[in-house]
Structure 1
Amino acid sequence: MRTAARRLSKRLGRRGRALLILGVGKVCYGAGFIVDPPPARGLELLTMMCPLQSWAWLWIVCGSITAVSAFLRVGNDRWGFVAALTPPTVWGTAYGVSFVTGVYTRGIFPFIWYATCHVAFIVWASRVPEEVPRTTARARRGAERRPG
C-alpha cells in the first residue's frame, strides 16, 4: 500500500497533488449543496439565474476537471487551474456584489475568504515549479562570498 501511494505521489508531482486535493474538495463541496442546500443568503446574484443546486454542478464539473488535470504533464495541467479558479471566483464575486449593494453586509467576509483561501492559493499553486532547482556546491560557495 505504501509503495502504491509513493508511486502515485511521484506520478502526480507537486502541482498534481495540489490539483487532486483541490479537485476532490470542489466535488465534495458541490455535492453538499445538492444533498442539503443551505440558504442562499448572499448568493442572490446567482440564484436570480438558476437554483443553488444548479450552481452546485459548477463546483462538481470544475472539480472533476481539476482532479483529472492532476494526472497531466506540467503545461497541459493549466486547464485544471482555470477550472479550479472558476467556482470560487463566481461565488466570491456574488458575495462581493451582495456586500456592495447592501443585500448581504456579511458578504464581505466570504468574499475575502474566497479571494484569499481559494483564488490566491490556486494562483500560487499554478506558479509552483514542478522541481526545485538544485544549486551546485560552486554556486553556493559563490553566494556565500558575495556581500549581502
Structure 2
Amino acid sequence: MRAAALMQTPHRVLRSLRKRVGRRGVFLLILGIGKTCWGISFIVDPPAADGLQLLTSLCSLRHWAWLWIVVGLVTAGSAFLRIGRDWAGFVAALIPPTVWAIAYLAAAVSGEYSRGAFVALWYLTSHVGVIMWAATVPEHSVPPVPRRPGKGNAA
C-alpha cells in the first residue's frame, strides 16, 4: 500500500501544478524549460554558426546562448503569474526566435546561407506564430464535457 501511495505522489504534484498554472501556464512552463535547455546546449556544445553570421559578427554563440537562457527563465517564471500578467512570458518567448529568424533571413538575402529563408520561415511559423496564437487563447475557452444523465434522470 505504501508503494502505491508513493507512486501517486508525482501524479498529485503534477495535477496540483497544472491546476495552479492553468493551460496558458503549462504552455509557458514547457516553452520556458525548452528555451533554457536550448540556450544551455549552445554553451555546452556550440553548434556550427551557419546562417548566423549577423549574430556572430556581434558576439559569439556562447554569448547569444544567454539570450535563450534568460528568456527561458522569464517565460517559465511567467507561468506562475495570473492570466493577464503572464504577458511578459509571451513577449519574452518571442525574442529569440525572432532574432534567429532575422539572422537567417539576412543570411539568405546576402547569399551566405542558401537554407536561411527556409529556416527563417520555420522559426516564424513554428515558434513565433505558435507563441502569438497561444498568447491569445483564453484560459477557459473549451466548454465543459457534457455529462451523461444519471439513473432516474430524464434525457
Fold shared, TM-score > 0.5 on shorter chain: yes
Higher RCO, Cα 8 Å, sep 6+: 1
Shift of 1:33: 0.5
C-alpha separation in 1, matches of 2:40 and 2:112: 26
Unmatched 5+ stretches in structure 2: 1-8, 145-155
Residue 76 in structure 1 maps to residue 92 in structure 2: no
- Tell me the equivalent position of 1:126: 135
So what's the TM-score if we normalise by structure 2? 0.84
Deviations 1:65-95 (A, max 9, x none): 0000000000110000011000000011100
C-alpha separation in 2, matches of 1:73 and 1:45: 37
So what's the TM-score if we normalise by structure 1? 0.88
- Tell me the equivalent position of 1:31: 40
RMSD: 1.4
- Tell me the equivalent position of 1:89: 98
- Residue 73 of structure 2 aligns to a residue whose secondary structure is helix
- Residue 83 of structure 2 aligns to a residue whose secondary structure is coil
- Tell me the equivalent position of 2:125: 116
Residue 56 of structure 1 is aligned with which of 65, 73, 76? 65
Unmatched 5+ stretches in structure 1: 136-148
Q: Which runs of 4+ in 1 moved over 3 A?
A: none
How many aligned positions are there?
136
Counterpart AA for 1:91: W
- Residue 108 of structure 1 aligns to a residue whose secondary structure is helix
Shift of 1:134: 4.4
C-alpha separation in 2, matches of 1:7 and 1:19: 16
Residue 104 in structure 1 maps to residue 117 in structure 2: no
C-alpha separation in 2, matches of 1:54 and 1:134: 45
Shift of 1:5: 1.1
C-alpha separation in 2, matches of 1:7 and 1:81: 23
Larger Rg: 2
Shift of 1:104: 0.6
